[in-house]
Amino acid sequence: MSVAASKEDRRNTRWEEHRNERRRELIESAITAVKKYGYDTSMDQIAAESKTSKSILYKYFGGKEGLQYAIGQHTINSLIDEIGHKSLSGGGGVLPGYLGCRRC
């Protein structure tokens, strides 16, 4: 592999990590906005909460339905992580089958 290709690969990896982190931040801001304003929270309110523009939200999620889906995935993944943590720490009496859940 050439030096240029190696450098390009690292840049792509860094940008992918940045996009994933930014997406997570936007989802968490959207969750905060929904807690604050209710289920009918507008994209304007979510954009204000995340200190960004609506165009960024549309770029990452395609629209409100895409954002709602991403929030659902995030919530399910958080629950799976919590179930796994409680099972591994011996707390909660969680059924072992839950550990087989696939992440969204």
CATH number at residue 25: 1.10.357.10
Residue 88 is which amino acid?
Answer: L
Q: Select from 65, 68, 34, 62 the least CA-distant residue to 49.
A: 34
pLDDT < 50 positions in the chain: none
Q: What is the pLDDT of residue 49?
A: 97
List, for residues 81-101, the tens digit of each pLDDT value.
888 776 666 655 555 555 555
Residue 82 is which amino acid?
Answer: E
Which residues are CB-contacts of 67 (< 8 A; sequence separation ≥ 6)?
A: 26, 27, 30, 43, 46, 57, 61
- Long-range contact list for 32-41, CB < 8 A, 24+ apart? 34/71
**What is the residue range of 71's domain?**
3-100
Q: What is the pLDDT of residue 104?
A: 52
Could you tell me if 47 and 56 are in contact, meaning their C-beta atoms sit under 8 angstroms apart?
yes
Count the domains in the chain.
1
Q: What is the pLDDT of residue 96?
A: 53
Q: What is the pLDDT of residue 10?
A: 77
CA distance 33 to 9: 36
As given in the structure block, the two tokens for residue 9 are: 């690969």
Tell me the pTM: 0.72
